[in-house]
């Protein structure tokens, strides 16, 4: 019997007598009956307290794979609410930390262990109150957590049993290596360490050597044939740059009863498109990006989770790890920086066991070679046709920009941000600023005449 067949026949009820019954009761109330493959393969090792490196595609169920053994091991040790910090879980973004905290809260429904969330963007004084009360499990982002570990009185992790590094590849991309090193140096060496990652590059291996013992268990459930999950239907649409906003309008109109995430390259582009679609097209649209306040990001995240349908405009701050239920479509309006980012974006749909989802990336005719580039990374896309987008929305946008000073300013900022991101794109042979007609690109932001570009793009396009 192969591994897939063993996993398909397994259920969480098989853990009876092996993990605390209250955990099984919580899993049942969460509607979790069968483990995913990463859970089935990682749990036996983690429940024995072994160090582990787990590689699995985004959406494969990594969060419960480490939360179940974390809670169970603390209960087996007789940990109490006043027992001090037994586990630290570090995430690369506030949203992912918040999501992990939400899942943990459900798991601890009838279990007397305390927990808290420590992330940037919140008032430090509030964190200190939480930490002084004591928290058995802390979920946080590395920068804010290290700050408290170094400077908050009466807070230490001398009794720590487990350190979890979630989305380790993103932790490194976000520049957290120094923070992780600082944290690891201040923690007890006798502990269990767990590292999960969707991709396993050399940087992640270096992090593993720093944080883990010399004999970690390696669990990899990545498919060698494709880099994305099997329930995902994905394709691309070739669209001239000046028709992009009309295409998006048509796409969202067709998807009124669905849940859609749309990825943009910049915060200003998110703000501009959000305002246009929400205020002037009367669409049900939320937005998340890195320059918003933590309170606003948290509210938008929770509102989108609870929504039956609607649209979330976002930057790549929402591309990693977020487990938002029932996302029907991922739209990549602006191109990702690399194939890994593509994979993480589309990983917001078709999550979990037997779930399905759809994804489309919008490309200019000059950018079609990106599809061949993705194929080298084992990502295979179909070519989609959507029909001709309507002209009236373009006319409405151009009229708005011509007569609304506030929207004109927002559009200009978004346009310039779009050009800056495009110019900086790592794949310059495919996303070449010299092949981009700046006047036509300006039309996508509602300008009949191209605005002055206040920085040098390239000599050909000055």
pLDDT tens digit sequence for 316-349: 888 765 677 789 999 999 999 888 888 888 888 8
Indicate which CATH number applies to the domain containing 36: 3.40.50.300
pLDDT computed for residue 1 by the predictor: 41
Same domain, residue pair 298 and 258: yes
Mean pLDDT of 399-417: 96
pLDDT computed for residue 7 by the predictor: 57
Q: Quote the tokens at residue 386.
A: 């959507």
pLDDT tens digit sequence for 211-253: 887 788 988 876 555 667 677 899 999 999 999 999 999 999 9
Residue 134 lies in domain: 3-220
Instruction: Report the distance separating Cα 311 and Cα 100, nearest Å.
Output: 23
In this model, does residue 3 exceed pLDDT 80? no
pLDDT computed for residue 354 by the predictor: 53
Task: Please give the share of the chain, as a percent, with pLDDT higher than 90.
Answer: 60
Give the predicted TM-score (pTM) of the model: 0.66
In this model, does residue 462 exceed pLDDT 70? no
Residue 236 in domain: no
pLDDT computed for residue 455 by the predictor: 60
pLDDT band at 43 (very low <50, low <70, confident <90, very high): very high
Residue 260 in domain: yes
pLDDT computed for residue 324 by the predictor: 79
- Number of independent structural domains in the chain: 2
Residue 75 in domain: yes
Going from the C-alpha of 114 to that of each of 134, 152, 430, the distances in angstroms are 7, 19, 50
Which of 168, 177, 202 is closest to 96 using CA atoms? 168
Mean pLDDT of 50-55: 91
Mean pLDDT of 94-108: 92
Residue 228 in domain: no
Same domain, residue pair 309 and 363: yes
| Separation of first and last alpha carbons in the chain | 64
Cβ proximity of 205 and 174 under 8 Å: no
């Amino acid at each position: 019997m192969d591994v897939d067949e063993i996993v398909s026949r397994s259920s969480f009820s098989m853990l009876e007598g092996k993990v605390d019954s209250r955990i099984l009761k919580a899993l049942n109330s969460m509607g979790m009956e069968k483990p995913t493959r990463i859970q089935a393969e990682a749990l036996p090792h983690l429940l024995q307290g072994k160090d582990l490196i787990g590689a699995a595609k985004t959406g494969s169920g990594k969060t419960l794979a480490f939360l179940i053994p974390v809670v169970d091991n603390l209960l087996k040790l007789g940990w109490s609410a006043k027992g001090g910090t037994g586990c630290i879980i570090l995430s690369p973004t506030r949203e992912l930390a918040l999501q992990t905290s939400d899942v943990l809260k459900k798991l601890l429904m009838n279990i007397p262990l305390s927990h808290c969330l420590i992330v940037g963007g919140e008032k430090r004084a509030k964190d200190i109150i939480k930490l002084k009360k004591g928290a058995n499990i802390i979920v946080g982002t590395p920068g804010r957590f290290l700050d408290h570990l170094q400077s908050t009185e009466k807070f230490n992790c001398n009794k720590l049993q487990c350190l979890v590094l979630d989305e380790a590849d993103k932790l490194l991309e976000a520049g957290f290596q120094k923070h992780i090193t600082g944290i690891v140096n201040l923690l007890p060496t006798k502990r269990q360490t767990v590292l999960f990652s969707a991709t396993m590059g050399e940087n992640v291996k270096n992090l593993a050597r720093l944080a883990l013992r010399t004999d970690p268990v390696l669990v990899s459930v990545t498919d060698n044939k494709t880099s994305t999950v099997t329930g995902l239907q994905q394709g691309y649409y070739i669209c001239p740059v000046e028709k992009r906003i009309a295409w998006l309008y048509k796409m969202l109109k067709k998807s009124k009863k669905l849940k859609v995430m749309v990825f943009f390259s910049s915060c200003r582009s998110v703000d501009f498109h959000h305002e246009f679609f929400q205020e002037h097209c009367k669409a049900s649209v939320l937005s998340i990006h890195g320059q918003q306040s933590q309170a606003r990001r948290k509210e938008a995240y929770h509102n989108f989770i609870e929504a039956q349908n609607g649209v979330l405009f976002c930057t790549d701050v929402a591309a990693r790890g977020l487990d938002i239920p029932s996302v029907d479509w991922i739209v990549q309006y602006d191109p990702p920086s690399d194939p890994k980012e593509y994979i993480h974006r589309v990983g917001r749909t078709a999550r979990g066991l037997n779930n399905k989802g759809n994804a489309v990336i919008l490309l200019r005719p000059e950018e079609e070679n990106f599809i061949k580039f993705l194929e080298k990374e084992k990502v295979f896309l179909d070519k989609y046709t959507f029909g001709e987008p309507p002209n009236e929305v373009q006319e409405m946008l151009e009229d708005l920009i011509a007569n609304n000073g506030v929207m004109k300013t927002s559009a200009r900022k978004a346009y310039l941000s779009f050009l800056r991101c495009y110019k900086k794109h790592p794949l310059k042979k495919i996303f070449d600023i010299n092949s981009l007609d700046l006047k036509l690109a300006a039309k996508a932001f509602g300008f009949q005449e191209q605005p002055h570009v206040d920085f040098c793009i390239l000599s050909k396009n000055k």
